[in-house]
Structure 1
Amino acid sequence: MDSYELTSLWKKTLSNQGNEDPYSSHRDLLRNTYISFRKKAKVLASEISRSLPFFTVHDITHIDALWDTADLLVNKNYFLTPTEAFILGSAFLIHDLGMGLAAYQDGSAQLRNHQIWKDTIAAGLKKNGFPIDTPIEKIEVEILKEADEAVLRDLHAKHALELALKPFYYEGNQYYLIDDPEIREAFGYYIGQVAYSHWWDIDKVETELRQEIGVSGLFPQNWSIDLLKLACLIRAADAAQIDDRRAPLFLKIIRKPLGYSKTHWDFQSKLNQPTKINSRLRYTSKSPFKKKEAESFWTCYEILQVIDKELNDVDSILASIRPDLRLDVFGVEGIGALHHLTRTVKTEGWTPIDTSLTVSNVAELVANLGGHQLYSGNKYVAIRELIQNSIDAVHARRFLDNHSQDWGDITISFGEDQYGCFIEVEDNGIGMSTNVLTKPFLDFGKTFWNSSSMHGELPGLQASNFKPIGKYGIGFYSTFMLGSKVKVITRRYDKGRNETIVLEFTDGVKARPLLRPAQVDEQLKDGGTKIRVWLVDFTSFQTDSDRFLKPRNYANLDTLESELKILCPALSVNLHLNVSDIKRTIIKANDWETIDPLSFFFRLNKKEDYDLKDANTKEEINLYLNNIRLIKNENGETIGRAFLCKNDFFVFDSDLTHGIIAVGGIRSNRMNGIGGILLGESINAARDLAIPIANGLPLQKWATEQAELLSKLKHHFDEYDLLNFSNIITKLGGDVKDLPICFLNERAISSQELLAYLINEDSDNVTILENKIDQSIIPESLKLFRIHNNLTTSIVKAKTGLESISWPANNTIDWYLSQLEGLFAQILLVAWNISEFDEVVVKAGLLHKNNKLTITLTDNNGEPLEVQAYSILKPSVST
């Protein structure tokens, strides 16, 4: 006799009740059907270990143990009808079968046809730096294996919906887990629902299965079925069934689990079957957890906490809806205090103290890290973060609805109502479900994008080319820098108007927000999100970053338009401005690529800072505007629009001038020596530091073109400006063309002039002055070179924590070659007919430091002047 047949639940419902049983034929039909079902499920369950070898046991021993555990959870008088027992036992049989590929008719091919698999493999490819369109035959086996395992786990519960109803095919024949077609038709759907429900959120269990249903005419009318009761039983039993039956020692030796899986095997192999003490489950260990087993102990503790929560949740639902159905257990003994738990789950040689990171004042943490401390009180940031969230929502909808790359709208409104002055940001993006609005949206520090929950909410998005800006999960909380009263109105793009929902904050993060259905006048006509924040009085703020939020500027449309354009110069969505119901479109999607050069220039700079009536100012601006060029990547996508410029060209406002890096189309940090816009990726949570995505050949081509353009304008710049241009072009990997790269005596010469001189001179060494020499005369006979060192060292430099990042980033030999000194060395080696560049170039750069010279010149007064110099000797390696 199998163990499940010894349980009270089985004996009272499906076992033979004797000759006096008036329903013996009905009971026999269910019992025999279950036994046949169990034989087939046993085969499928044994295959799970082939797909998930490191998981603890999910075979028939686990399934049978669920009867034991359910028996433990109820009192001896707990009532199940035979049909309820059949559905519960059948749900036990199939609830985990989907964790094995054998449960899928077409195996991995069927699994990989699911959208969730496509999303999961796309996430794996992105994580490992591969394009999401990598052909499956070229994907690394380990990435495929990880995706398969993750999706089997994610899909297994849902797959139970099909297992009780759909056939397996073999050689043209159909085979069912439930042989009897009438039984299958009568109960198959409900078996799948109960099995699936063990993976649901507890609120969904209450909502979806809160009903008692009748029974098929095959059975007595009083054998009705309470689905909520069954869902609660399988949920509690499956959570609580952890002991050594799930992790047999010899099986662990054979499978050799690793990592986190090993900790599960280790702790479960040490646990005895639980007992019931005062309406709680008591778990005991066979032997103490030693110091080396501490990690397994903590995994055990975490699992016991989960069990305790599941039992509490089940008890709360049943107590409020069906108190007569409450289980006899509602928690785990000792889970509230570790010193109580260690009386039964023992340790040896160490004392468990729960030192996991905790936050005692969540509201204060969110207020600080989500606002002033992280963003340094810059009120621009809150507007920027709201816009960035809207951009992500619009982009997501573009991919899901197959809209064009210029579709989508964001409207920023300023106004006043009975609560005061407000700013509102509205988009027509994907919107949010109640689940997203109340969980990921409010989960501080955890982003919804690229998470596994996104796969379920928005299937197909991960597998697209969608690249969210948001990745830290803190942007929304910057809103509270502007005010403590905030209202979020949202509607999923695929839902009706009457499903618009509202989340209201009345006192920032200090008080719990209120969730409610939208009133008729709040309902959104299209999908999307609208966030309104009522502003505190910013008149006391004096910084430039606060000025456009001051109430006196609300009615000034031109001021607001200028500020928003500077904040969002390269948006890929349409941006509208609405002030007191006066609405205008201020930015069209992607128009930064095509607007005229002067308009583009004033996307980055305020007009009032430039006197265009001044001929010199106008001439200098026009000088650069003619050099503005697009930078496109290998796929033809625009990743920049920029020009090279003098570092002192922008002199009016150090915070809002110079070329900028745009993340998601929004201004981030500045660049030295480059004017215009380069698209970039943020490198810190505040998103005020970014690195351009431009690199490689596209950047080199752009830099070379800038050299050609500037070569034609040499007479407009002094020699040091031209050297700085050459320096930047070299750093970007471009060809400096006719621009100077060094001095010969005190005359700036180009690379071509340098090469011609070296070849004509036919010298085995060159002498380089260390510094610029003032008030001196260099005799023509000396022929001293000077490589100017006081140049822009890094176009973009950022510090994130302890790490310094610069762009462009070059390493070792490449770093040397990207300097004018390296370019000089390359030309020198060409003149000396040396071909082994990689090694010798570096040598040439280092050798001269070992040949220090002191040269005596004569200053303008005829007095001797000693200067330092270096000699580079012709290396012995030559062709």
Structure 2
Amino acid sequence: MVFEVSRGSLWREAFAPRKGDPHDAPRKRLLDSLERMRDNVAQLVTTIPADCKDLTIHDVSHLDALWEMASLIAGSEYALNPAEAFVLGGAILLHDAGLSVAAFPGGLEQIKQTQEWQDLTCAILRQHEIEPTAELIEHPPAEYLGGIKFAVLRALHAGHSERLASASWQLASGGQIYLLEDVELREAFGSTIGRVAHSHHWDITRVAEKLVDNIGAGTMLPADWAVSERKVACLLRCADAAHIDRRRAPTILYAATRPTGVSNSHWNAQNKINKPVVEGGTLIYSAGQPFKAADAGAWWLAYDLVRLVDKEIRAASALLEELQFAPLQVQRVLGAESPRALSIHIRPEGWRPIDAEIRVSDPIHLAQTLGGRHLYGRDRIAPIRELLQNAADAIRARRSLEERSADWGKISVSIEAVAGEENKCWLHVDDNGIGMSERVLCGPLVDFGKSIWSSPVLREEYPGLQSKRIHPVGKFGIGFFSVFEIAQYVKVVSKHYEAGMSDANVLEFSSISTRPLIRRAEPRELPRDVSTRVSIRIEDQGALFGGVNDPDELPFDNALLRLILMLDVQLEYKNPIDGTEFIHSANPYTVGADTFIRELIPAADKKDREALIRVQSTLIRPMLGSDGSKFGRASLLMSEFDRYNRAGGTAVSVGGFIYTHAPYRPFLILGVLEGNTDEAARKSAYSTVPKAVLSAWASEQARIIDRQRFSKADLLTASQKVILLGGDPGMLPYCFAGGRLITYGELRGLVDSISVFNVLIGVDYASEFCVVNYSKLSSVYFDLSVKENVVILADWDFADRSIFRDDIGEAIKNGDTKEIGFHDLDMGTQNSSLDIFIQTLRSKWACEPRLFVEEMQIFSAELYSPPELRWVLSLRRS
């Protein structure tokens, strides 16, 4: 024998020669073919370490050892005919061969054409905050190429193993070479070998569903040598899981390769573990050396590996029993039940393993606590928002996968009365997005804290999605549980978007504290052309529809309209109970400005709202990037009153959904800016509008303001707001200087020629120093000639606020001080007109101005009765 497997009972029973054997020729043919296939695969797997750095041993010694492990687990009396043994041997050889680039006839270029390369390259680049481009996906940066190759090969290798038995490589001479050279055997068993090899990465349920029994023998073999794919697959997965001893991590290679991170823990753990033995149906692992405290991570990894072996053996045994095959000799693994039990044979030294890992012992309580009122407060619209966000994410994902238009997709929110129950109703949320298979319904959807968008399930269920530019709103994995704050009975009906209606499943909750029920959907339980329907039974519709937080607040339909103001998905709302309905457009940037403002501030007093619309509607403009991308829709606030702001007039949109509690500089704009949120409760958000975009938008606002329609005071404050937003106020007046209104550009010109500026300030009724606002000037300022270096500013929110600390103000009035420092200014002056003016001088003069407070004559006319002295803040070039 070329390879040392003759001691394994499975191999001996299948291939060992015997006297008077009527099937000696076919038996020998199978064995010879398997040996040649081993030689070919052995050359492929030698390249695995170069392609998947720091993996434990995956060479031919590992493949040979799986025969021994399979025989140990199955037992000496286990029945496996030669054809089944041949399939097992072929699957053993191929199951990990795809971990090398050489296993792909087209090499790395073939791998780059796979969806896995596209998805995983994008995912890894984004992890390093690099936005993928076609060029970067094709040619990733060298420092990430190894990690990408490793990740892609790990993702591809199981599926690729299914094709390897029939794959061919082109020879330089023009011929072809196969791993399984025997044409007849390749035709008979190549597909079966591939499926069994692929199945080592499936869960046991899929093995039972996808593999079959009674695969007929090849034409050159005895008829009773039929193959059971499921029996062979069970042996392969158990043997592969069980091979965790030091043959996978030999000492000399461990010392030479010096693996790091998680790989080091794998090498360290397996380097200490001896070959297992069987006693009374139990597989027993032991360690030749103790695990010291520094090796605790490796010990825990060994514990996880032992538990995995136990899980595979138990699952395989259950399936074989169900199929009425002979049982495996091994039924359990010693120590898998607890760390204490494992520590008897795999010994820690100087420490004691206790099962104290971070865990959620009461997930139902956690979901009730964090998924409901304790997270969202009493915000009744929050659970609906979470459902709509999930629906919008699903639609956007499908748009990307199927390359549909930017306005494709639809969400429906409908209310349905409960027959015979006056105050009860159903609330349905339907969408035609990517939908959910049973695997997703029973996995990420109900796994509290785990979002499908960050789950490996995403790539497997929706290949190609990771490589698309999707930015899901849902990312915390807890939003779905918020529905239990307003309902106990919840039903989710869904199907994968490519599946038929007959494949729809229903996940039903009678409450959050009971286990949900999964079942097939009944006819018409999922509406036509819908991928997912979430239905919640509202026990008190008055509490939901009468107000969001309070009966005196917004009706439900108004709150919903404001919530989805910037949503890029069409949404239909119908409530036949109270007769309300509306259709929200998928393009919020084309909705009329009047409607936009009304939906933005529905809680404002009607009179105030209509007055605001008259003033602001002509200024509503989109915030656009240089490439046409949209970052918001708003107008510079021209109104003097601020009641709109308390009603949410400055808002942030995250994924099209409106947040009010973290506006971008209140009192500057009326509208919505694109943003993000890092809070699980999503109570607040922050703007992500680039400065250049905001600056360009603010400059545009300055250009389109009709200066004939607004008072001088309004125009002055508008100019200040444009500057605060980084824009150019252009022809808008900026301040009153030299007895006239001048623009910001004119002021900057004056700064070049004047070294002292005096900003008019005054003492109010509370004896506090404040900037004198242009709007409060008396006629004397227009009748007399004001000195050229006297500046009168205009302010809005900061007007009438003290500009000095209290102690400094008293010292100035008492005549104790004249020169002050910037630290003496009250912090409330930040972003005020005074702050903007000081920053302008600082920039133009390229130095820190000196500050003085004094009384002086600000008029230049020589009068018999000159006006009284005025207080000024004098800024002097140092």
Smaller-chain TM-score bracket: 0.7 to 0.9
The CA deviation string for residues 579-637 of structure 1, in whole angstroms up to 9 with x for no partner, is 2399997334333211221111112122883138xxxx745431111111111223213
State the alpha-carbon separation in 2 of the partners of residues 188 and 151 from structure 1: 24
Pick which of 390-399 and 683-692 moved more. 683-692
The alpha carbon displacement at 1:288 in A equals: 1.4
State the alpha-carbon separation in 2 of the partners of residues 742 and 705 from structure 1: 20
State the alpha-carbon separation in 1 of the partners of residues 476 and 744 from structure 2: 47
The alpha carbon displacement at 1:711 in A equals: 7.2
2:340 aligns with 339
2:617 aligns with 625
Q: Structure 1 pair 347/647, CA: closer, same or farther in 2 (3 Å)?
A: farther
Listed as ranges, the matches of 1:749-760 within 5 Å are 750-760=743-753
State the alpha-carbon separation in 2 of the partners of residues 208 and 73 from structure 1: 24
1:327 aligns with 328
The CA deviation string for residues 284-311 of structure 1, in whole angstroms up to 9 with x for no partner, is 1221111222222222222222222222
State the alpha-carbon separation in 2 of the partners of residues 245 and 504 from structure 1: 48
Letter aligned with residue 8 of structure 2: T
1:479 aligns with 483
The alpha carbon displacement at 1:780 in A equals: 6.5
User: Tell me, what secondary structure is at the counterpart of 2:39?
Assistant: helix
State the alpha-carbon separation in 2 of the partners of residues 609 and 817 from structure 1: 31
Listed as ranges, the matches of 1:683-832 within 5 Å are 683-710=678-705, 712=707, 715-716=710-711, 718=713, 722-723=716-717, 725-739=718-732, 750-761=743-754, 763=755, 771-772=769-770, 824=837, 827-828=840-841, 832=845
User: Tell me, what secondary structure is at the counterpart of 2:519?
Assistant: strand
CA RMSD of aligned residues (A): 3.4
The alpha carbon displacement at 1:659 in A equals: 2.3
2:388 aligns with 387
1:124 aligns with 124
The CA deviation string for residues 60-114 of structure 1, in whole angstroms up to 9 with x for no partner, is 0110111111121122211111111111111110000000001000111111101
**8 Å contact 2:246–2:271 — kept in the other structure?**
yes
2:314 aligns with 312
The CA deviation string for residues 437-465 of structure 1, in whole angstroms up to 9 with x for no partner, is 11122111111125332112111222222
The alpha carbon displacement at 1:25 in A equals: 1.2
State the alpha-carbon separation in 2 of the partners of residues 133 and 737 from structure 1: 38
1:50 aligns with 2:54: no
The CA deviation string for residues 619-669 of structure 1, in whole angstroms up to 9 with x for no partner, is 543111111111122321322110121686452683x42121122221123
**8 Å contact 1:407–1:589 — kept in the other structure?**
no
**8 Å contact 1:730–1:820 — kept in the other structure?**
no
The alpha carbon displacement at 1:858 in A equals: 10
Listed as ranges, the matches of 1:212-291 within 5 Å are 212-291=214-293
**8 Å contact 1:449–1:468 — kept in the other structure?**
yes
**8 Å contact 1:424–1:530 — kept in the other structure?**
yes
User: Tell me, what secondary structure is at the counterpart of 2:158?
Assistant: helix
Q: Structure 1 pair 852/148, CA: closer, same or farther in 2 (3 Å)?
A: same
Out of 166, 178, 181, which is 2:180 matched to? 178
The alpha carbon displacement at 1:873 in A equals: 3.2
Listed as ranges, the matches of 1:586-625 within 5 Å are 586-606=582-602, 609-611=605-607, 618-625=610-617
Letter aligned with residue 495 of structure 1: A
User: Tell me, what secondary structure is at the counterpart of 2:435?
Assistant: coil
**8 Å contact 1:422–1:535 — kept in the other structure?**
yes
1:660 aligns with 2:651: yes
Letter aligned with residue 406 of structure 2: Q
Listed as ranges, the matches of 1:379-528 within 5 Å are 379-418=380-419, 420-507=424-511, 509-528=512-531
**8 Å contact 2:125–2:132 — kept in the other structure?**
yes
Q: Structure 1 pair 549/526, CA: closer, same or farther in 2 (3 Å)?
A: farther
User: Tell me, what secondary structure is at the counterpart of 1:285?
Assistant: coil
State the alpha-carbon separation in 1 of the partners of residues 844 and 631 from structure 2: 38
State the alpha-carbon separation in 2 of the partners of residues 646 and 544 from structure 1: 31
Letter aligned with residue 74 of structure 1: A
**8 Å contact 2:118–2:467 — kept in the other structure?**
yes
2:814 aligns with none
The CA deviation string for residues 698-747 of structure 1, in whole angstroms up to 9 with x for no partner, is 2211011122344726843637x844x44543343211334565676999
1:645 aligns with 2:654: no
Q: Structure 1 pair 707/88, CA: closer, same or farther in 2 (3 Å)?
A: same
Letter aligned with residue 535 of structure 2: R
The CA deviation string for residues 333-364 of structure 1, in whole angstroms up to 9 with x for no partner, is 12222222111111122222222111121111
Letter aligned with residue 772 of structure 1: C
The alpha carbon displacement at 1:131 in A equals: 3.0
Letter aligned with residue 113 of structure 1: Q
1:114 aligns with 2:114: yes
State the alpha-carbon separation in 1 of the partners of residues 450 and 670 from structure 2: 35
Residue segments in structure 2 that go unaligned for 5+ positions in a row: 762-767, 800-828, 859-865
2:854 aligns with 855
User: Tell me, what secondary structure is at the counterpart of 1:737?
Assistant: coil
1:677 aligns with 2:672: yes
State the alpha-carbon separation in 2 of the partners of residues 126 and 156 from structure 1: 24
2:37 aligns with 37
State the alpha-carbon separation in 2 of the partners of residues 400 and 234 from structure 1: 36
Pick which of 113-122 and 95-104 moved more. 113-122
Out of 536, 546, 549, which is 2:539 matched to? 536
1:13 aligns with 14
The alpha carbon displacement at 1:753 in A equals: 4.2
TM-score (norm 2): 0.86
**8 Å contact 1:168–1:175 — kept in the other structure?**
yes
**8 Å contact 1:450–1:462 — kept in the other structure?**
no
The CA deviation string for residues 541-581 of structure 1, in whole angstroms up to 9 with x for no partner, is 8994146999xx9xxxxx55433211211121111122239
Q: Structure 1 pair 207/789, CA: closer, same or farther in 2 (3 Å)?
A: same
Pick which of 411-420 and 61-70 moved more. 411-420
**8 Å contact 2:757–2:789 — kept in the other structure?**
no
State the alpha-carbon separation in 2 of the partners of residues 549 and 51 from structure 1: 65
The CA deviation string for residues 165-213 of structure 1, in whole angstroms up to 9 with x for no partner, is 1211123211111111001111111111111100002210111125333
1:813 aligns with none
**8 Å contact 1:745–1:786 — kept in the other structure?**
no
Q: Structure 1 pair 125/648, CA: closer, same or farther in 2 (3 Å)?
A: farther
State the alpha-carbon separation in 1 of the partners of residues 42 and 362 from structure 2: 50
Percent identical residues: 32
TM-score (norm 1): 0.86
Letter aligned with residue 662 of structure 1: S
Q: Structure 1 pair 866/593, CA: closer, same or farther in 2 (3 Å)?
A: closer
Letter aligned with residue 660 of structure 2: N
The CA deviation string for residues 749-804 of structure 1, in whole angstroms up to 9 with x for no partner, is 6423433443443x3787897952689999967956688898589xxxxxxxxxxx
State the alpha-carbon separation in 1 of the partners of residues 727 and 76 from structure 2: 83
State the alpha-carbon separation in 2 of the partners of residues 712 and 868 from structure 1: 30
**8 Å contact 2:95–2:198 — kept in the other structure?**
yes
**8 Å contact 1:98–1:160 — kept in the other structure?**
yes
User: Tell me, what secondary structure is at the counterpart of 2:588?
Assistant: helix
State the alpha-carbon separation in 1 of the partners of residues 193 and 268 from structure 2: 33
**8 Å contact 2:546–2:556 — kept in the other structure?**
no
State the alpha-carbon separation in 2 of the partners of residues 540 and 585 from structure 1: 19
**8 Å contact 2:851–2:876 — kept in the other structure?**
no
The alpha carbon displacement at 1:384 in A equals: 0.8
**8 Å contact 2:651–2:671 — kept in the other structure?**
yes
**8 Å contact 1:577–1:583 — kept in the other structure?**
no
The alpha carbon displacement at 1:141 in A equals: 1.8
